[in-house]
Chains A and B, each alone.
Chain A
Amino acid sequence: MIPRPKPERFRLRRTMMFMNAQKPGLIKDAYIYGCDSIMLDLEDAVAENQKDAARFSLYHALKTIDYGDTEVIVRINGLDTPHWQEDIRVCVAGGADGIRIAKCESANDVHTVEAAVEKAEEEFGVEKGRTLLMAALESPKGILNAYEICAASDRLFGVAISGGDFRKCMQTVFQPDGVDMLAARGQMLVAARAAGVQCFDTVFTDLDNEEGFRAEVLQNKAMGFDGKSLINPKQIRLVHQVFAPTEKEVIQAEKIVRAYREQSAAGVGVFTVDGKMIDIAFIPGAERTLKLARACGMYEGDLV
């Protein structure tokens, strides 16, 4: 049995790769690809008559396989199905790091899942509050209620938009410039930032369209997303490249954090670095850049 460390609510999540929890060939070595999180799927990837088998398979994978630093999230079935309660029991019993709520439309949906998670933590003797949550927004109503969803729980680390279902609801299809989902992505990002949680973009399903994928990832980065959901290991490298800070940004961030620590120890709140005014407001961003740089192998210092 592999005891997993307590999940961190805010950690680096550039890449979250979906895996069918029912396929042993996939889940046994998912960690070798180097994505930040894997998303073991009990929902759409699993046929209706294999939901039970997927849970047995998931339970033993969680208990047996050493996923190392890769975060392990499980996508559970929607609250309108007969499956979600048992899905939550197996996730908590197996010690998954987090649960992704499918088709989330309101704060109430988050509370419903949270109550079941808490009950399961009690049942299986798991530390209360250990299991994190994230919500997938898949409908116009989910997007409109994004803020209340983002602010619904201390367990919730972020929200993700699910493009397939959302485009269907909006009577549109994928557009290369992203205009089909521009408003929804924007609204979700604003809500997530306002609530102080992370925000993730949807999957890009056309694996042969490399240029299209690159364009979408660049747009994700420019819009301020924390990361992206993926369907194939070959998509990981590009996202990590695009989300990596530039060398100049890393040097600047290091200077800022170092100067801030020295100055604040000396009782100074505002100062300049390379001619630019710096105060405490710049520190979280600079520290984030350094953490990202460390994950990308670009920073080996001891400031973060």
Chain B
Amino acid sequence: MEILKPAMAGTLESSDAQVTVEPGNGKIQLSLQSSVMNQYGRQIRETVLETLERLEVQSAKVTVVDKGALDCTLKARVECAVFRSCGQSAANIPWGGAVR
């Protein structure tokens, strides 16, 4: 998917993460802040990058502010932000396909 416009999903509440995506310059630039950076920083980064790869996002500036979200929440927030950026978040989501 191509990131067309800036979009955000998620909140700064505990157990959640706020993900922002913006059009990139040909690669993925990930900036991550987390309340559990020392323990889980690497895993969070991997989950975010894997999710972007599954959605075939190749160029984007991605900002994640994590408040101790589980992997399933991180995935949900990244996906929602990407689909919102393409104006496709409201219907016909490929559940079980690219979103899984």
Chain A contacts to B: CB under 8 angstroms? 23-25, 28, 51-53, 55-57, 59-61, 63-65, 82, 85-86, 89-90, 93-94, 124
Contacts and interface: CB of A to CB of B under 8 A. Distances in A.
Given A63-B72, A64-B71, A65-B72, A86 B91 contact: yes
A86 B72 contact: no
Contacts of B76: 24, 53, 56-57, 59-60
Contacts of A82: 90
A56 B70 contact: no
Contacts of A23: 13, 16
B40 to A, nearest CB: 15
Contacts of A61: 72
Contact of B99 (A24, A53, A56, A86): A56
B70 A52 contact: no
A86 B92 contact: yes
A83 to B, nearest CB: 8
Of A24, A61, A82, A85, the most chain B CB neighbours within 10 A belong to A24
Contacts of A93: 95-96
- Size category, B interface: 20 to 34
A100 B14 CA distance: 28
B35 interface: no
Interface in B45-97: 69-73, 75-77, 79-80, 83-84, 89-93, 95-96
Contacts of A60: 72-73, 75-76
Given A25-B15, A63-B72, A85 B91 contact: yes
23 contacts: A24-B13, A24-B16, A24-B76, A28-B70, A28-B72, A52-B89, A53-B76, A53-B80, A53-B89, A55-B93, A56-B9, A56-B79, A57-B80, A59-B99, A60-B73, A61-B72, A64-B70, A64-B71, A64-B72, A65-B72, A86-B93, A90-B93, A124-B96
Contacts of A94: 95
